[in-house]
Structure 1
Amino acid sequence: MWPDLIAKSKEGGADVVQTYVFWSGHEPVRGQYNFEDRYDLVKFVKLVGESGLYLHLRIGPYVCAEWNFGGFPVWLRDIPGIVFRTDNAPFKEEMKRFVKKIVDVMRDESLFSWQGGPIIMLQIENEYGNIEGEYGQKGKDYVKWAANMAVGLGAGVPWVMCKQTDAPEYIIDACNGYYCDGFKPNSNKKPVLWTENWDGWYTTWGGRLPHRPVEDLAFAVARFYQRGGSFQNYYMFFGGTNFGRTSGGPNYVTSYDYDAPIDEYGLLSQPKWGHLKDLHAAIKLCEPALVAADSPQYIKLGSSQEAHVYRGGNTSICSAFLANIDEHQSSTVQFLGRSYTLPPWSVSILPDCKNAVLNTAKVGAQTSIKVADLEPTSSAKTSAPELLMVQKEDPLVAGSWMTLKEPIGVWGDNFTVQGIWEHLNVTKDRSDYLWYITRVYVSDEDVAHWKENAVSPSLRIDSMRDVVRIFINGQLIGSAKGDWVEVVQQVQLEQGYNDLMLLSQTVGLQNYGAFLEKDGAGFKGQIILTDFKNGDVNLTHSQWTYQVGLKGEFMKIFATDDNGNSNWTDLTQEEVPSILSWYKTHFDSPAGKDPVVIDMSSMGKGEAWVNGHHIGRYWTLVAPKDGCQENCDYRGAYDSDKCNTNCGKPTQTRYHVPRSWLQPTDNLLVLFEETGGNPFKISVKTVSIETVCAHVSEDYYPPVQTWSHSNGELITSQKNPVMQLKCEDGYTIASIDFASYGTPQGSCQTYTTGKCHASTSASILSKACEGQNSCKIEVSNSVFGDPCPRTVKTLAVKARCKPSPTSTSWHTGLSEI
């Protein structure tokens, strides 16, 4: 996917690609480096350079990124005496060794800008300022050491520290956040950098889906450059998928879509991508003035309105940004003898201090509709307009699954010791799963005590994360989930010996905060059985047997189709649901080039593999029914709770399978299911954009791409606004389902004609667009006639895209690796 993603980023107006370096991926075993396949960093950097873009390499090596353990390899916590991210000799030695390795690889491949490569900046550490105070003086000393160490590696390009107000003078401190227009570095000798503009937010299992409106995002970007910003990066422009067990924690979902301009599957999220493309073009029209002026001139235009003007010294070069930061009211302002109307919470960009080429609140880009099986999935009417199409395929299989039971408790190499050991100290994160097993004796007196007093014993665990499943004598009696929460579970015990088995699970290791190496997993405190005849029974210091992982996991039954050694049997409908079960089947790949997903909405919780590739954890936890907005108002400061969607539905049901992992037929799908689900209802689907809409008024500006500088003047080849519709590559516009020039009402899914309507609208659009991959049409009376004089008209269109006849054959995607 890399070439396609890079190309779409460039087309969207990006100049620089930014990426983290994941220590855990590049050094999974100490001293053994991995730069292959998805971790081929050199190949990625070279692809960026070949596209004509620059690269900002954020080495960290702590990256956060909602990635497992913040990007640290778990073996790092076992280094004797180590304390992460502070003035600690063992940690500094390991950190320097890895950072030096990355810098040396980049230099050896001639990838720094002074060598002709694309890398123009590096980053050391990441948002350390948020937690520095918890380390006291050692934290301050560590910042200085990290800066000196990085610069001493001789990379020859600037180093950045984000959210680090005490960064030394030779390190650029940068801003991360939803808004950074008020940010100033700790020295006026440093440029103003915004390393993370959060254009969405991450998602937790059982959580709602955050959405940031593009009008607000564009407002934030324009304000940043209006007030002197130099470099701005979107986090994320593409987030993708955290395959395998790479999602961080606690409890982050497998998808890392992040509401980004390019979605998890590599499709454009519209109108976010399109409006940002227009914004970038408008800002670049201002570039001559932005680079010529040392700082902007501030002009107050009203109580909540202001202008920042950039002038090129003695030249006539001039650009201006006019802002209305009022959250509710439009405002008409006077600027340099001209009148400009500014919608609330918006910025108008004037590359020549005269002509406004874009307003951040006026979105002319098309919208793409997200539906599942032809029905909308968004719980809000306008919260998430950049939707995509999921086409339903036939059920994945029809009664042809096989199953294998996972042993409950001990199955292989194990050990028995006294006491409760911390989960990660045992598993080393080789698996999410760890069995804790002990034996409890119940006397006749205990049984009589419970009957006489009408009570039952309970198991109490002082503190647990992330998931525990409780078994008594091989039977599941209860489960709990949470982040270091107390667990109390009533239990039924028999007279004599009872086997207590606790299946502890991690769902992504902690990826943020101080002292990550101490957070751990599993259980903390005491484990007690209450209400026995002679009082509580403390199991904390009992003999416990430890079994790491799942038998099927360590046998790698997901990587082979060998039935002889694994005792697979045919699955019948009567056998589902069933806990702790392996399932497998085969499926053929859908035709065409569209991204492929597996719909797991019929399952509970577990992990999935396709042709041996771990596509991630799955979990059908349902989001709360409340907390989503019927209408998302872009105006006013954004936070991750402002424009949520997907209330009352599972957080994630579709799981991405890259086509490069598939073959035309006989693909092997293997699942491990913990809680019980119905694999017979699993289906394979392709993701595509089938419906596109646009809504452009005649008072919008001409397309920003039609403006250019010529002989000192800003000119445009187009005097009126233009609507553009475009299907994905391989699709054509099959029909115009709605078109109205006049006063149409509603949004894309609910368009209706208003009192004013040009009767020729549909025929004009059909003639211009049908059968084409894309089309443009001017929004003006000269095209449609004037159905209602002295009224501002709007053109609203809904079009349906269908695959081109040549695009339906099966596609491996190997060229996208």
Structure 2
Amino acid sequence: MSKNLTQFLLLVSLALSSSCSAVKVEYDANAIIIDGQRKIMNVASIHYPRSTEQMLPDLIMKAKDGGIGAIETFIFWDVHEPRHRQGTWNFIKFFQLVHEAGLYGIIRIGPYVCAEWNYGQKEMETFTTKIVNKVKVAKLFAPQGGPIIVAQIENEYGNIMEGYGAAGKKYIEWCAKMAVAQNISVPPMINTCNGFYCDNFKPNNPKSPKMWTENWTVWFKLWGSKDPHRTAEDIAFAVARFFQMGGVLNTYYMYHGGTKLGCTSDGLYITASYDYDASLDEFGNQFAKQANGLQLVNGDDYSFEFEKPVSLEPGANTISLLSATIGLPNYGFKYDMKPTGLVGGAVLLINPAKNMIDLTPNTRSYGVGLDGELSQRLFDPKSPNGNVFKAGQVPTGRPMFWYKAAMGTEPVVVDLLGMGKVHAWVNGKSIGRYLPAQIADSKYCSNICDYRSHYKK
């Protein structure tokens, strides 16, 4: 997702089959046609890697009870292939649950998805083909009797396509040919809309349905920024206008946002919470609203100076910095060429006499994650920096301190308020990075929104 309100997406509408259990999917400018029945549809965006597997059946059923006709999700490259040509495929189970609930499915393959997710695009055709083949083997496409009626490749490329000139247009044409070659669809390709309002959007083909693939229920949370809120009245008015103006498919992004587990939060200073002020909150509670934001910096200014005394030994020295984010970009024109890590300022070594040595040109390297994460050795009882978490005996002001606690089998709430930067694991699985020492200023929070005017972040 990006800040521009209208995006260009590529969709493949699935159809055609002779199997007795198959569902035939077609479309025209006014409807999606499923086995001859003309439909307009409300869709719920639920990203399965942002919730625990145990939560998914309940989330899907709550969406169905809310009048949703289909569930949509991205396929995140690094979830399924953390090592080259190796990985898991738990999205298959997700769509099986969708099917069992009697709902349709929409699969957004990517590989580039934006979606405030770390890492975006690699070998596009190889990954797309692999995902499509996995879905075919599991018989999840509608022509096979499965739930998936629409598939998408790429996302929000229209915002940056002009920057590439003729090469950008050529790439889109290649995407279309590559998608058709997957042999799961009928042409033509469909461009769609993402944004807060899409009632004035028109497809580039007058015979294509008007589809709203991301109706932003609010905006994501940023460290130090206000807690976003958009009223239900404003969203309802926007949806009514969309259908009034010929809309066919509306997707609530997000219907359930969940949590950016592990290190999946991208380099835009986005919090671990992906609550999105959605109908189902971060924890799956119905129609609840979150009111806590995390603060790292002042407002939208993410530049700062960091000073720390160091002791150096004669000879070569290595200076290591542990950071919650190394500035990885995930969106924009030639985003893969953008600088990462320490940018925009010098790295200086200053002695007591105020003499300075500029270390900026020195060699740097970046490592993602901690060694203990890969080895699943998250807590060492022999470590001098470790301690058993005990109520009333929590040390403060100590860097890199480990806590471990057994919590039994009942649901629990872990209150991290008052701590600094926190990376938390439950049963060996990272639940994300947190900065709970401060919360967003309440003066930014408001329940007032005039839905007759446009929502502003």
**Structure 1 and Structure 2 fold alike (TM over 0.5):** yes
User: Any idea what SS the aligned residue of 2:82 has?
Assistant: coil
The within-5 A match list for 1:592-671 is 596-620=412-436, 621-624=438-441, 626-629=443-446, 631-640=448-457
Residues 393-792 of structure 1 aligned to structure 2 (within 5 Å): 485=303, 487=305, 489=307, 501-507=319-325, 509-524=328-343, 526-529=346-349, 536-542=356-362, 550=370, 552-553=372-373, 556-558=376-378, 563=381, 568=386, 573=393, 575-590=395-410, 596-620=412-436, 621-624=438-441, 626-629=443-446, 631-640=448-457
Give, in whole Å, the separation in 2 of the partners of 1:514 and 1:628.
Answer: 33
Task: Determine whether 1:137 maps to 2:196.
Answer: no
> CA shift at 1:65, angstroms?
1.1
SS at match of 2:425: strand
Q: Which has the higher contact order (CA 8 A, sep 6+)?
A: 2
Cα distance, 1:6 vs. partner? 1.4
Equivalent position to 2:196, from 150, 154, 178: 178
What displacement does 1:547 show?
8.0
Q: Which amino acid aligns with 1:56?
A: I
The CA deviation at 1:597 is: 3.2
> What CA deviation, in whole Å up to 9, does each residue of 1:704-757 have, x standing for no partner?
xxxxxxxxxxxxxxxxxxxxxxxxxxxxxxxxxxxxxxxxxxxxxxxxxxxxxx
Q: Contact 1:239–1:260 at 8 Å: present in 2 too? A: yes
Tell me if the contact between 2:256 and 2:281 (Cα under 8 Å) persists in the aligned partners: yes
Instruction: Find the counterpart in structure 1 of residue 101 from structure 2.
Output: 51
> Residue 101 of structure 1: SS of its match in structure 2?
helix
Counterpart of 2:192 in 1: which secondary structure?
A: strand
Residues 279-298 of structure 1 mapped to structure 2, 5 A cutoff: none
Q: 1:550 to 1:20 in 2, by over 3 A?
A: closer
For residue 121 of structure 1, report the CA deviation from its aligned partner. 0.9
Q: Distance in 2 between matches of 1:52 and 1:488?
A: 54
Which residue of the partner structure matches residue 62 of structure 2?
8
How far did residue 522 of structure 1 move? 2.1
Deviation at 1:569, TM superposition (A): 5.3
Shift of 1:175: 0.8
Residue aligned with 2:109, SS: strand
Q: 1:110 to 1:622 in 2, by over 3 A?
A: same
Check the 8 A contact 1:243/1:615 in 2, yes or no.
yes
Amino acid at match of 1:14: I
Match of 1:42 in 2: 92
Greater mean alpha carbon deviation, residues 630-639 or residues 5-14: 630-639
**Corresponding residue for residue 115 of structure 1:** 144
Relative to 1, partners in 2 of residues 1:549 and 1:225: Cα closer, same or farther, differing over 3 Å?
Answer: closer
Structure 1 residues 584 and 148: alpha-carbon distance in aligned structure 2, compared to 1, 3 A threshold: same
Match 1:223 to one of 237, 241, 253: 241
Q: How many angstroms apart in 1 are the aligned matches of 2:196 and 2:140?
A: 31
Label 1:480 to 1:209 Cα distance change in 2 as closer, same or farther (>3 A): closer
Query: Does 2:241 align with 1:191?
Result: no
Question: 2:256 maps to what in 1?
Answer: 238
1:510 counterpart letter in structure 2: P
Task: Please state how far the C-alpha of 1:514 moved relative to its aligned partner.
Answer: 2.5
Which residue identity is paired with 2:162?
Answer: G
Quote the offset at 1:25 in angstroms.
Answer: 0.8
Aligned-residue offset at 1:497: 8.7
Look up the equivalent residue of 1:234 and give its one-letter code.
Y
Q: 1:218 to 1:24 in 2, by over 3 A?
A: same
Say whether residues 1:204 and 2:229 are aligned partners.
no
Amino acid at match of 1:521: T
Q: CA offset at residue 585 of structure 1?
A: 2.2
Q: Deviation string for 1:56-110 (max 9, x for gaps)?
A: 111111111111124x4xxx5xxxxxxxxxxxxxxxxx21000011111111222
Q: Is the 8 A contact 1:48 1:55 kept in 2?
A: yes
- 2:145 maps to 1:127: no
The match for 2:47 is: none
| Count of residues in Structure 1 that have an aligned counterpart in Structure 2 | 396
* 8 Å CA contact retained: 2:385, 2:401: no
Q: Deviations over 1:520-564 (max 9, x none)?
A: 532246423468979642223457798876565565432x6x735
Letter paired with 1:135: Y
- Whether contact under 8 Å (2:346, 2:360) holds in the other structure is yes
Q: Is the Cα–Cα contact under 8 Å of residues 234 and 449 in structure 2 kept in the other structure?
A: no
Residue type at the aligned position of 2:196:
Y
Match of 1:323 in 2: none
Report the Cα offset of residue 244 of structure 1: 1.1
Q: Is the 8 A contact 2:213 2:250 kept in 1?
A: yes
> 1:178, CA displacement in angstroms?
0.8
- How far apart are 1:486 and its partner, in Å? 6.3
Residues 485-509 of structure 1 deviation map (CA, whole Å, 9 limit, x = unaligned): 4636486889989978341424373
Contact 2:420 2:435 in 1 (8 A): yes
Map 1:258-273 → 2, pairs under 5 A: 258-269=276-287
Q: CA deviation at 1:634?
A: 3.6
Cα offset, 1:51, TM superposition: 1.7
Check whether the contact 2:224–2:299 (CA below 8 A) recurs between aligned residues: no
> 1:118 and 1:547 mapped to 2: Cα distance?
40
Q: Is the 8 A contact 1:505 1:522 kept in 2?
A: no
Letter in structure 1 aligned against 2:421: K
**Separation of aligned partners in 2, 1:259 and 1:546:** 34
- Report if the CA contact (8 A) 2:385-2:400 is conserved: no
TM-score by length of 1: 0.44
Change (3 A) 1:537 1:157: same
The TM-score, its normalising length taken from structure 2, stands at 0.76
**Is there any run of 5+ residues in structure 2 with no aligned partner, and where?**
1-54
Does the CA contact (< 8 Å) of 1:113 and 1:157 recur in 2?
A: no
Equivalent position amino acid for 1:23 in 2:
W
Q: Which amino acid aligns with 2:454?
A: A
TM-aligned CA distance change 1:500 to 1:575, over 3 Å: farther
1:504 touches 1:522 (CA, 8 Å); kept in 2? no
Partner residue, 2:83: 29
Q: Distance in 2 between matches of 1:570 and 1:529?
A: 37
The residue type paired with residue 128 of structure 1 is Y
Distance 1:124 1:223 in 2: 27
Question: Residues 617 and 153 (structure 1 numbering): CA distance in 2 closer, same or farther, change over 3 Å?
Answer: same
Does the aligned pair in 2 maintain the 1:122–1:157 contact within 8 Å?
Answer: no
Structure 2 Cα separation of the partners of residues 267 and 570 of structure 1: 31
Deviation track 1:307-333 (CA, whole Å, cap 9, x = no partner) reads: xxxxxxxxxxxxxxxxxxxxxxxxxxx
C-alpha distance in 2 between matches for 1:543 and 1:23: 30
Alignment of 1:141-160 (within 5 A): 141-156=170-185
- The Cα shift of 1:123 comes to 0.7
| Per-residue deviation, 1:193 | 0.7
Kindly provide the amino acid, as one letter, of the partner of residue 580 in structure 1.
Answer: M
Identity of aligned residues (%): 44
Q: Letter of the aligned partner of 1:563 in structure 2?
A: P
The structure-2 alpha-carbon separation of the partners of 1:26 and 1:495, relative to structure 1 and needing over 3 Å to count, comes to closer
Give the Cα separation in 2 of the matches to 1:156 and 1:119: 12
